[in-house]
Chains A and B, each alone.
Chain A
Amino acid sequence: GEDVEQSLFLSVREGDSSVINCTYTDSSSTYLYWYKQEPGAGLQLLTYIFSNMDMKQDQRLTVLLNKKDKHLSLRIADTQTGDSAIYFCAETSLNNNDMRFGAGTRLTVKP
């Protein structure tokens, strides 16, 4: 089946940039998403990118998509302690209603 993979952990210093990476296998993916989950909470949609784009910027967040390599990344500029959370990559394809998620990357921001 189709898979979404992420590295499990990332640790950065406050003020540095964080880059979280994701790879997916479904070539029919149309939308790719980044979600944030804080302890004891549900999922918060941070941003998404359509598959015909290669970059999207939204304030401190930059999403890069390499469709040829099926690689997605999320860059968080000026990372703050409040950014500490688990970040999930997810994808959907045009004819499906479900989202397929990676296992999540736990971001730890040290003061």
Chain B
Amino acid sequence: DAGVTQSPTHLIKTRGQQVTLRCSPKSGHDTVSWYQQALGQGPQFIFQYYEEEERQRGNFPDRFSGHQFPNYSSELNVNALLLGDSALYLCASSPDRGHRNTEAFFGQGTRLTVV
């Protein structure tokens, strides 16, 4: 089992551009959450997808959007990039049973640098 895989691992973008990050969940998991981890800080919840719909959203602007596909993989899109969007973006997958976060697995993350 490959666990949670994210791509790409590193990315450099220019201010104002758009970016798409990808996540494949662990086998057997159907729920995907995205987190932003700025340097020196803890992860901040962006949103969670289940059954191809956004189930819950954190305190992030509409520039951040997502999608979940029928195979449970997910994308995070960020439009009109700002320098402050530079961070490690983490994807976590979990099964939709019980208290799902106790079975959440995190990917290695995508390091986004906006210049």
Contact = CB atoms under 8 A, between A and B. Distances in A.
B108 A101 contact: no
Interface residues of B, number: 25
A99 B40 contact: no
Interface string B81-115: 00000000010100000011110111111000000
Nearest to B48: A97
Looking at chain B's contact residues, the main secondary structure is: mixed
Given A42-B106, A98-B45, A99-B43, 16 more contacts: A30-B99, A31-B101, A33-B102, A40-B108, A42-B107, A42-B108, A42-B109, A43-B90, A43-B106, A88-B43, A97-B101, A98-B33, A99-B101, A103-B40, A104-B40, A104-B42
B56 interface: yes
A24 to B, nearest CB: 12
B63 interface: no
Interface of B: 4, 31, 33, 40-45, 48, 55-56, 58, 90, 92, 99-102, 104-109
Contacts of A63: none
A100 B55 CA distance: 17
B104 A88 contact: no
Interface residues of A, number: 25
A interface: dominant SS: strand
B42 A97 contact: no
Contact of B43 (A30, A40, A43, A96): A43
Contacts of A99: 43, 45, 101, 104
A97 B56 CA distance: 7
Nearest to A35: B106
Interface string A1-31: 0001000000000000000000000000011
